[in-house]
Amino acid sequence: MVGKRNEPHVIFVPYPSQGHINPLLQFAKRLYSKGVKATLATTKYTVKSINSPNISVEAISDGFDESGFSQAQKADIYLKSFKENGSTTLSEIIKNYKNSTHPISCIVYDSFLPWALDVAKKHGIYGAAFFTNSATVCVVFAHIHYKTFSLPAKIEENEPLLLPGLPSLYPIDVPGFIREPESYPAYLAMKMSQFSNLENADWVFDNSFQELEGEIASGVSNIWPARLIGPMVPSSYLDNRIEGDKGYGASLWKPLSEECLKWLKTKPNQSVIYISFGSMVSLTPQQMEEMANALIDSNMNFLWVVRETEKGKLPKKFIESTIGKGLIVSWCNQLEMLANQAIGCFVTHCGWNSTLEGLSLGVPMVAMPQWSDQMTDAKFIDEIWEIGVRPKLDKFGIVRREELLFCLKEVMGGKRSYEIRRNAGKWKNLAKKAISEGGSSDKSINVFVNSLSLACQMKKYKK
């Protein structure tokens, strides 16, 4: 698309991790497909990992240009540096485009980076917050911000957290640092900062959709006025309206998809357990051992993504003992795996992107959340949407082999398996409908595009 002056140009600013870059980049592609020029501004350390046709890429600095967060090591140090350096370098990009044929009209920023909204206002352009968690999780934190309840939240098994429009949230359903704020102080501060200047945003977006969480979002529109525009999953897996859109276009690790697909071809339909805990979660050696033993006892086929840094936690001779039945890889294209007909269920940490991917592709899940918003997502997978099961923890917080084995058998062919697969198919169809032409999310995106276009035309006439 050739940019023309007074046509909308949106710059996207994600938090520089895989799970945050992907949905914002996908939103950029959606807008481009509707005639908007889209640019992604990401850190110098992650900029080389972006490869998406039609989306321009610009580098900003977080102050740790050689290796990003791992160079900073501490969250509070990293976030402070990113705010200072990111604000300056993002401002420079806006200035560089100002007298071009396509000046920037709007910053869509990851809600973890509220300083980007301050940059937008400084330059007299629009600012839109993009929340990457579920609407439910965002609502919980909005209630904390507006002091509906205070931290630490005292939640008991017989007296759950009750919030307007939400189901009862028991201790295992809420992020741990709500009950123990001192456990992750920097992360909690970042979560709360999302609301620090939100009232100044021109739009608020969330990566969910009306049929999934519309009632929850509309119930708090006075404190969190979000438009649901998801699921931000590549078009080839949903509506197929963006040509060639088979992946996100960002990968911080090298996937081994060809090896996986070749192996999956040898397996019957819905016979393989796919296991992945994302790019950040680290299981304890004890939990890895319980997982491995459950897989051995199940005698089922499995594909397990174990990052190189985690492989030392696997039991000795586990890989050798499961040759033929199991395949262990360090990384793969998750969407390709979930879309493969050989996959029968998805053992997941319940990160929101993974949850949406599993839901959008209709794959039953075994929910094993580890921290933060994953706990709430797991509740909805099991109890609200009924597309999977959630194994029980022992008193040490471990899912034992017997419990996991029971859950695997239940999802793959147990009493609840028919109902779970039926529900998974229902939500898959609703996700596709939402993002397709005329769907709830598509309409919300069109409203945004039309508003930007009108604003640009108004600027033109004023001149």
**Considering 9, 20, 143, 349, which one is annotated as catalytic?**
20
Q: Which two three-digit tokens encode residue 448?
A: 């945004």
Q: Provide CB contacts within 8 A for 209, sequence distance 6+.
A: 228, 229, 230, 231, 430, 431, 434, 435, 439, 440, 441
Contact 45, 64 (CB under 8 A): yes
Burial classification of residue 314, based on how many CB atoms lie within 10 Å of its CB (0-12 exposed, 13-18 middle, 19 or more buried): middle
Contact 108, 11 (CB under 8 A): yes
Based on the residue annotation, tell me whether 110 is a catalytic residue of this protein. yes
Based on the residue annotation, tell me whether 20 is a catalytic residue of this protein. yes
For the range 139-143, what are the long-range contacts, defined as Cβ-Cβ under 8 Å and sequence gap of 24 or more?
A: 139/163, 139/165, 139/166, 139/216, 139/217, 139/219, 139/220, 139/224, 140/166, 140/169, 140/174, 140/175, 140/178, 140/376, 141/191, 141/192, 141/194, 141/195, 142/195, 142/220, 142/223, 142/224, 143/220, 143/223
* Nearest-angstrom CA–CA distance, 44 and 48: 8
Q: Reply yes or no: is the peptide bond before residue 231 cis, omega within 30 of 0.
A: yes
What is the residue type of 383?
Answer: E
**Considering 62, 110, 206, 382, which one is annotated as catalytic?**
110
Closest CA to 85 of 63, 55, 112: 63
Q: Which residues are catalytic?
A: 20, 110
